[in-house]
A and B are shown apart, each in its own frame.
Chain A
Amino acid sequence: MTSENVNASELVTEDGPQSRAAGRVFAYIQLIDPLKFALPLAIIVAWSAAYASHWLPPVLLPSPWAVVRATLNWIDPSWTGDPKAYFSGTWLTDAIGSSFRALTGFCIGSALAVILGIAVGWSSKAERVFDPTVQLLRPMPRTALLPFAIIFFGLGNLPALFLVVYGVFMQVYLQVVIGVKLVSRDWRRAAAMLGASQTQILWRVIIPGALPHIFSGLRLGIAYAWTMMILAEMFAVPSGFGYVLWRGYEFMRMDIVLAGMFMLGLFGYLSDRIIVMIARRKLVWAQELSGTQL
């Protein structure tokens, strides 16, 4: 410890703390892959060019800058001084409400899917009891449940949660069942000959062995959580990203419609990254086995 500290302070006195910080920023910039940014940049340039050429009226195609302004107005109207609209200053409430509905529904739906999926993949009795029903419901588009949810639960968080839980469950369940069923017979045999009981095999072999599939199910599930949440908010919840989006359509405010879309993309991306981060740490073995990173 001490020798490292001495070395560090020596380094600071040699080049000065500022040049070290600059060096770190430079190293970080070097990490940025220009190829990853080429296409988004091209799209923004093409969009700006289309706007400047008056190819479409601004009502249909606002400028990128107008979308940024609408976003700022949405977060805090005092930043831009633009006229107040229905969405001015509601961003934080919308973000919290939407995230709550999407993430709570995701947690409940995926927990149910993991529990039931493991049971169905593991026990043929559970499979006979549950699987036919799930397989019968699965082909039905999940969005078709919207009218049912509104009639049954009324307006508010409840129909939204119901839709998210249902949508996530259907997405995750299948992956969990597949994951459990594909756990190698030889791993199960190895555990059995080493003396593991059926319960120990389930916890120590089946579940860890099925984790790669379970995580891919969770990634599909989180995307579906936001989809179902938006659908519910458009029709059944008087706030949130979906509400702002749908009112944007009603008022013909393409700027806030696009701002809402980007915001949803951002939130969906961030929640997906969290799952990927956890998966990367939990599935070191599976990644190295396949020689790829999640």
Chain B
Amino acid sequence: MGAGAVGHPIIEGQQVRKTYVGRDSRPTVALAGIDVAFREGDITLLVGPSGCGKTTLLNIIAGFEKADQGAVFERGTPIKGPHPRRGVIFQDPNLFPWLTVWENLMFGPNVRGEDKHVAGQRAEELLAMVGLLKFRDHLPHQLSGGMRHRIAIIRTLANAPEILLADEPFTALDEHTRRKLQEDFYELVSRTRQTVIFVTHNIEEAIYLADRAVIMSPSPGRIKQVIDIDLPRPRDIVDLRFNEYRKMLFNLITPDVMPE
């Protein structure tokens, strides 16, 4: 990391279009041919109400899904499928339940044939940072929900991805656990100036984490506005300027919320 110039687009989408055929066989336009760019070293939040295509965009960047038209490029090369350079944190922790915490952390380095010593040191460091060293030989179901999310985050980081993609990882957690995890998350990614693309529908989460917020709107899914969040860190969620951003994003997103 860090080698490329900070601020240069590392991921770029051109005319990305994706349509799903629903159960009533009516097509839903998840992404209506959008152009989007993500800068290296930035934490970019994709924010918008459900149906705005933010998760679809993330899945295309991850390589899990393919765009119907247009393409997404990583440093100028079209993305064709998943790659360990682009690590993903899912909505559920999604740990392998038959592997211990340690085996989960070493899954990526092992399948990639990375040096065990180097990867092991990195994994141990990450485990220590999230304070779960003594749980290394536990199975995932023996941990609490918050611990599982922490392990899921560092499992992806232990694989040393260049770009970190996160799909609403904290949505299912209670408020206090979520705040703590947001802090931990920022601490983990900021020390290496990790490039992050993070999907959320939570305005507060977006302002707390983002260097830049990409506001999306639904039917058809498109980008409404890109806002740089110019607040000092660590951010205070009850600060006056934080609230100004909150109001700005709220006014942008609320009119787009569709009745279910």
Which residue of A has the minimal Cβ distance to B84?
Answer: A195
Q: Please give the distance in Å from B217's CB to the nearest CB on chain A.
A: 27
- Asked whether any CB of chain B lies closer than 8 Å to the CB of A268, the reply is no
Which residue of A has the minimal Cβ distance to B139?
Answer: A285
Report which A residues bind B (CB closer than 8 A).
184, 186-187, 189-197, 200, 204-205, 208-209, 211, 284-286, 288-289
For the residues of A in contact with B, the DSSP-based class is: helix
**Which of A186, A194, A285, A289 is in CB contact (< 8 Å) with B84?**
A194
Given contacts A191-B111, A194-B155, 12 further A-B contacts (CB under 8 A): A187-B94, A190-B88, A190-B94, A191-B96, A193-B86, A205-B96, A208-B98, A285-B97, A285-B140, A286-B98, A288-B142, A289-B141
The answer to whether A196 and B111 have CB atoms under 8 Å apart is yes
The answer to whether A193 and B107 have CB atoms under 8 Å apart is no
The answer to whether B97 and A289 have CB atoms under 8 Å apart is yes
Cα separation A208 to B86 with both chains bound (whole Å): 25
Q: For B82, what are the chain A residues with a Cβ–Cβ distance below 8 Å?
A: 189, 192-193
Cα separation A195 to B82 with both chains bound (whole Å): 8
- Asked whether any CB of chain A lies closer than 8 Å to the CB of B55, the reply is no
Q: Please give the distance in Å from B65's CB to the nearest CB on chain A.
A: 10
Q: Can you spell out 21 A-B residue pairs with CB atoms less than 8 angstroms apart?
A: A186-B90, A187-B96, A189-B64, A189-B82, A189-B90, A192-B64, A193-B82, A193-B83, A193-B86, A193-B87, A194-B84, A194-B111, A195-B83, A196-B107, A204-B107, A209-B98, A284-B139, A286-B97, A288-B139, A288-B142, A289-B141
Q: For B141, what are the chain A residues with a Cβ–Cβ distance below 8 Å?
A: 285, 288-289
Cα separation A125 to B94 with both chains bound (whole Å): 28
Q: For B159, what are the chain A residues with a Cβ–Cβ distance below 8 Å?
A: 194-195
Q: Please give the distance in Å from B215's CB to the nearest CB on chain A.
A: 26
Cα separation A115 to B45 with both chains bound (whole Å): 45
Cα separation A192 to B97 with both chains bound (whole Å): 17
Cα separation A208 to B97 with both chains bound (whole Å): 10
Q: Please give the distance in Å from A214's CB to the nearest CB on chain B.
A: 13
Q: For B112, what are the chain A residues with a Cβ–Cβ distance below 8 Å?
A: 194-195
- Asked whether any CB of chain A lies closer than 8 Å to the CB of B127, the reply is no
Closest 4 A/B residue pairs (Cβ): A195-B84, A194-B108, A192-B82, A196-B111
> Can you list, as one digit per residue, whether each of B65-103 has a CB less than 8 Å from chain A (1) or not (0)?
000000000000000011110111010101011100000
The answer to whether A192 and B96 have CB atoms under 8 Å apart is no
- Asked whether any CB of chain A lies closer than 8 Å to the CB of B62, the reply is yes
Q: Please give the distance in Å from B154's CB to the nearest CB on chain A.
A: 13
Which residue of A has the minimal Cβ distance to B161?
Answer: A193
Q: Assign chain B's interface to a size class.
A: 20 to 34
Cα separation A184 to B96 with both chains bound (whole Å): 10
Which residue of A has the minimal Cβ distance to B107?
Answer: A194
Q: For A186, what are the chain B residues with a Cβ–Cβ distance below 8 Å?
A: 90, 92, 94
Cα separation A284 to B100 with both chains bound (whole Å): 11
Given A204-B111, A285-B139, A288-B141, A193 and B88 touching (CB < 8 A)? yes
Q: For B156, what are the chain A residues with a Cβ–Cβ distance below 8 Å?
A: 193-194
The answer to whether B81 and A192 have CB atoms under 8 Å apart is yes
Cα separation A192 to B112 with both chains bound (whole Å): 11
Q: For B111, what are the chain A residues with a Cβ–Cβ distance below 8 Å?
A: 191, 194-197, 200, 204
Which residue of A has the minimal Cβ distance to B165?
Answer: A193
Q: For A190, what are the chain B residues with a Cβ–Cβ distance below 8 Å?
A: 88, 90, 94, 96
Q: Please give the distance in Å from B202's CB to the nearest CB on chain A.
A: 21
Q: Please give the distance in Å from B51's CB to the nearest CB on chain A.
A: 21
The answer to whether B62 and A193 have CB atoms under 8 Å apart is yes
Which residue of A has the minimal Cβ distance to B88?
Answer: A193
Q: For B108, what are the chain A residues with a Cβ–Cβ distance below 8 Å?
A: 194-195
Q: For A289, what are the chain B residues with a Cβ–Cβ distance below 8 Å?
A: 97, 141
Which residue of B has the minimal Cβ distance to A203?
Answer: B111
Q: Please give the distance in Å from A157's CB to the nearest CB on chain B.
A: 38
Cα separation A211 to B83 with both chains bound (whole Å): 27
Q: For B62, what are the chain A residues with a Cβ–Cβ distance below 8 Å?
A: 189, 193
Which residue of A has the minimal Cβ distance to B108?
Answer: A194
Q: For B92, what are the chain A residues with a Cβ–Cβ distance below 8 Å?
A: 186
Q: Please give the distance in Å from B190's CB to the nearest CB on chain A.
A: 22
User: Considering residues A186, A195, A196, A289, which has the most beta carbons from chain B within 10 angstroms of its beta carbon?
Assistant: A195
Q: For A205, what are the chain B residues with a Cβ–Cβ distance below 8 Å?
A: 96
User: Considering residues A194, A208, A285, which has the most beta carbons from chain B within 10 angstroms of its beta carbon?
Assistant: A194
Cα separation A284 to B82 with both chains bound (whole Å): 31
> CB within 8 Å of A: which of B18-47?
none
Which residue of A has the minimal Cβ distance to B97?
Answer: A285
Q: For A288, what are the chain B residues with a Cβ–Cβ distance below 8 Å?
A: 139, 141-142
Cα separation A200 to B141 with both chains bound (whole Å): 24
Q: For B142, what are the chain A residues with a Cβ–Cβ distance below 8 Å?
A: 288
Q: Please give the distance in Å from B4's CB to the nearest CB on chain A.
A: 21
Q: Please give the distance in Å from B91's CB to the nearest CB on chain A.
A: 9
Which residue of B has the minimal Cβ distance to A190?
Answer: B94
Q: For B96, what are the chain A residues with a Cβ–Cβ distance below 8 Å?
A: 187, 190-191, 205, 208
> Can you list, as one digit per residue, whether each of B156-169 has a CB less than 8 Å from chain A (1) or not (0)?
10010000000000
